[in-house]
Chains A and B, each alone.
Chain A
Amino acid sequence: MSATKIQPRLVDALREVVGRDGVIAAPDDCLVYECDMLVYYKGVPDVVVLPRSVAEVLAVVRLVLDAGVPIVPRGSGTGLIGGAMAPRGGVMIGVNRMDRVLEVDLANRHAVVEPGVINLGLTRMVEGRGYFFAPDPSSQMVSSIGGNAATNAGGPHALKYGSTVNHVLGLELVTGRGELLWLGGPVRERPGYDLTGVVVGSEGTLGVITKVAVRLTRAGEAVKTALATFASIEVASQAVSAIIAEGIIPAALEAMDEPVIRAVEAGIKAGYPTDAKAVLLIELDGPAAEVEVQAEAVARICQARGALSLRVAADDKERALLWKGRKEAAGAFGRITHNYVLQDAVVPRSKLPEIMAQVQAIAQSHGVMVANVFHAGDGNLHPMICYDERVSGQFDAALAASEAILDACIAVGGTVTGEHGVGMDKAQKLARLFNADDLAAMAAVRRVFDPRLLMNPEKVFPSGAACPEVPRVGAGKPVPEGMWV
């Protein structure tokens, strides 16, 4: 499909709505918006619009729909799926300037925010009073709550607290029909279809989110963070499965293998033992007495499963450092490989030891190195398949290994994305998990909100026409430093 032609008249009309400083139309300036953090997929929008209010978003969407031009919503652009980019050109709506916290109601444990509010910013506002916004993607210091809702972002603490969808009470949306809708809201008990639940995670294909009502969670009485080391990632995975099977749901249960540990220590110096082949970062929170009992059980299980060491963070500072290593691991990893392909897949958590062995076998058979940093507790893998773009054939080998890993995850009852979402990257994969009837039901939902299929086209839904047009300009470029998974 050819890129959409934008008439100068439309650009003028957009400037009328959002002001001159809210419209970016120079091709060079639009280049900044050609991809999210998965640079493999590129598509430059013809125009980027930066509205400041719901009214502006509504007016912009109506103008663009009238022109029959695609609309791509974008938050902070930290996605890893080829999501906030414009494969058919068109108008990108960046919501970063809509960054006001409209309401914080601690007594009722909710907040209402504009979509550009930064995830961690909301937690910073309320943590002094003992509350937090539970979804914590590793990008949380820069990613927007609107983007988190659009992609149903996860994060380490999704293990205990759930993904973003479990924390969105309602939202305001400008649909692909050019209508403004409030769905759900701070009052939790309400009749009707749970449209909020399906808009969360729809990746901008139903509309532009303009407000989000979110739950705020009361912080626990106590928190304990421990680092356990193991002789291999398989052994560490067995310990993970044993902890869950014991009926302990830690706040977070993260795993990293040797290459990642080395990268973290070379860059961030989080205090991970460099002689370990695998580490588990285990966080327990809740009532003090419960945390004590669970910490003893976790230590016992780790020991029984062959842990080489187990260290509990002595204070908040040490705890923060252990987490810094985890949250910035993927970025740090960029230091020790030229390039890598990142995967996001989920397996039933009892299959973790089995799948980790398979991942290593796949790496060997494809002649690539695979490093792992992942949300072990909920079976959410993030293998990073390394390659050097300068060496012919390595990229193809890495891609083949990545595909093989996904196949292995599907084969044990898993799924192809746990928290990053579908975007362009996984759209074709949906057909592996869902048949034509399943996908037709999703398409029916889309028609309700976006009958002209102008909202974020070519994302989520598999289609024969989706991929070939994407210029693979960036294929094989190193993943930028400071990327979060």
Chain B
Amino acid sequence: MTGRASRDVGAALGAVVGGAQVLAGEAAGAFAIEGRAPRWVAFPGSADEVSRCLALAAAEGLAVAPTGQGTRRHWGGTPRALDLVVSLRRLDRILAHEPADLTMSVEAGVTLGAVNAHIGPYRQLLPLDPARAAGSTVGGIVATAATGPYRARYGTIRDLLLGVTVAQADGTLVTGGGRVVKNATGYDMPKLQVGALGTLGVVVSAHLRLHPAPAEERSWLYGFPGPEALLDAALGILDAPLVVSRLTFVDRATLGLTGHAATPPAALAVTIGSVPDGARAQGERVATICRSGGATALPLAEPEAWWRRVSDAAWGSPPEPTLVLRIGVRTTDVVKALRAVEAAVDGMSRRASAELANGVLHVVLAGRGLEEAGALLGRVRASLAPLEGTCVVEHGPAAVKAALDVWGDVGPALAAMRGLKAELDPQNMLNPGRFVGGI
């Protein structure tokens, strides 16, 4: 860092956001990322204040990490530098909700819980259910592209994000997209923020598309003799004219963590949302497909609480040191990927679950072997290569992660990604080192 003395930077931030809205020194330590503590944390209260914080940071050459509630602050690589955390938690206003349009506009620090509490009475929903959804902010979901089982039906934030306002690295506020549900006006700039981990700008507000809540949502659980039979049944469900909201594989270990009494080798959880007759009729068809695949129905009391426990199981749970992998493959390759991982991590404790409609496999590894995570990851990625699989480390001990490429090789498109970063953050001040290819 060059420029003013650190005391002066703190004072300058205070002049922007108010002295009480700046943390420095030890107090900032709670906002450390992978063990690296920022020198300051600022809590701007408006888009304009975010903009001025970034302009200040740009002038001072500070490395900046945006954050919301910090739910996924541990995602991404170890920061190469970190001076200032800009928290958006005070940007928590719902700016507009147009029930008749099924759209809403929110500041980035609004949580999914607050969104759904607001729109629930209108029988509408923002259908995103990643782990720890209720406390996750909209800005954080955009930055991480975090998804959950609902992706089977509703897609990701990419499909729901109509427009954004972004504070660019130098503080300039820019907007992209719009607030209507259909738009072909200029480049689709909101897409660039999805999953970018805040490396191209800080989202300060978003226009979102909502969905009507189904009249009834029902979930079922089926135990299978093994993952292969389960996948066959899941492919049968996907090939039938059914509208599934969730279609999730959980292994025996995961099922055990959810507190379920039964312990089949593999279980398939299905949710269907429809009118009551529609849910019932589709549920019967699911049952037929599963039974013909050798499955037995398992009881599922309080399904929503159970689904949250599945998410939590895939999250990894400190203090237990875990390595959490998120693997992407074609739906038909999910079990192949699972077997490949099992072979590569022989001897470690593990549990797995998968969102089958989109080929997302979560694996949580624990026990001896973590210290050789680099070699382990190399073996996993090598075994996924023939499947064109992707493998991201979502979570791991900081010391372990520091030695890893948590994202993996993104291929020849990396050059264009680097070019984009150089154009939009030429000083490389936003989350340096935390994104793909060391961006």
Residues of A within 8 A of B (CB): 105-109, 130, 151-152, 154, 158, 162-163, 165-166, 175, 179, 181-183, 185-195, 197-198, 200-202, 218-221, 241, 244-245, 247-249, 286-290, 292-294, 346-350, 375, 378-380, 413-422, 426, 429-430, 433-435, 437-442, 444-449, 460
Contacts and interface: CB of A to CB of B under 8 A. Distances in A.
A106 B181 contact: no
Contacts of B388: 185-187
Given A194-B194, A380-B182, A166 B155 contact: yes
13 contacts: A154-B182, A188-B360, A195-B413, A197-B158, A197-B194, A247-B102, A286-B278, A287-B274, A346-B182, A375-B182, A420-B184, A434-B176, A444-B424
Contact of B186 (A181, A185, A186, A430): A430
B241 A187 contact: no
A379 B182 contact: yes
B103 A348 contact: yes
Contact of B189 (A219, A416, A442): A442
Contact of B168 (A130, A162, A441): A441
Contacts of B15: none
A84 to B, nearest CB: 15
Contacts of B26: none
Given A151-B184, A420-B184, A448-B419, 6 more contacts: A186-B330, A293-B277, A347-B180, A442-B176, A444-B420, A447-B419
B211 to A, nearest CB: 8
Interface in B377-408: 387-390, 392, 407-408
- In the A-B complex, the 7 residue pairs with the closest CB atoms: A189-B328, A197-B191, A247-B212, A289-B277, A289-B278, A350-B100, A221-B241
B187 A187 contact: no
A445 B187 contact: yes
B186 A182 contact: no
B289 interface: no
B3 to A, nearest CB: 25
Contact of A107 (B187, B213, B239): B239
Nearest to B361: A189
Contacts of B168: 437, 441
A229 B43 CA distance: 55
Contact of A414 (B180, B191, B360, B407): B180
A244 B191 contact: no
A157 to B, nearest CB: 12
Nearest to A183: B413
Contacts of A186: 330, 388
B192 A182 contact: no
Contacts of B416: 175, 181, 183, 195, 448-449
Nearest to B181: A378
Contacts of A448: 416, 419-420, 423
B188 interface: yes
Contacts of B158: 194, 197
Contacts of B213: 247
B235 to A, nearest CB: 6
A414 B184 CA distance: 12
A150 to B, nearest CB: 11
Given A107-B332, A290-B275, A438-B176, A218 B241 contact: yes
B242 interface: yes
Contacts of B408: 191
Interface in B224-242: 235, 238-242
A218 B238 contact: yes
Q: Which of A107, A192, A241 has the most CB of B within 10 A?
A: A192
A349 B101 contact: yes
B331 A191 contact: no
B339 interface: no
Given A158-B182, A290-B278, A202 B187 contact: yes
A185 B417 CA distance: 16
B411 interface: yes
Contacts of A152: 184, 188
A187 B359 contact: yes
Given A249-B212, A437-B174, A349 B274 contact: no
Q: Which of B98, B186, B211, B423 has the most CB of A within 10 A?
A: B186
